[in-house]
Amino acid sequence: MFKNLFKSNSKTLEEINTHEVDVALRLMFEIAISDGTLDKKELILIKQRANKITSSDLKISNLIKKIIDETENSVSLYETVTKVNNSYTKDEKIDLLKTLWEIVAADSLIDPYEENLYFKIAELIKIKRSLANQIKHIKP
């Protein structure tokens, strides 16, 4: 469905290793599409994050294609959440939730599906709901 969003082919999808794909990007994309649409503002935030983590020879569009493919082929967030729990500090998890909330609020409409997924991710990465609620109210 989203594969035709990006047309650049500097690197094939097979050449992009899974370790190159930022777990935050995957979660951002999951939240962005949880309401059934990928809003332009959400896509801009995802591209900005992709731009921060890509090397100069890796196109942002290819990285996002990889995220889309992984999301379409996945039935669970288990692997992504496990990576977060195994490698993120509590402060990094809080920063991740700030980033995820930016996606939820990007289109100025707090969709219940997106908000629910935000809280579910917070729970899975072992951040208390009260703290996740506080993060929602922090201005970026």
Domain ranges of the chain: 20-136
Average pLDDT for the chain: 80
Secondary structure letter of residue 77 according to DSSP: S
| 40-69 tens-digit pLDDT | 999 899 888 888 776 655 677 777 788 777
Asked if pLDDT for residue 6 goes beyond 80, the answer is no
Question: In the structure encoding, which two tokens stand for residue 87, read together?
Answer: 């490698």
Which CA distances in Å does 79 have to 53, 75, 124? 20, 10, 11
Q: Which CATH class is domain 20-136?
A: mainly alpha
Average pLDDT (89-94) is 94
Query: Which of the four pLDDT bands, split at 50, 70 and 90, describes residue 8?
Result: very low
Tell me: the pLDDT tens digits for 130-140?
999 999 988 76
- End-to-end CA separation in angstroms for the chain: 31
Q: What number is the average pLDDT over the span 96-110?
A: 92
pTM of the model: 0.77
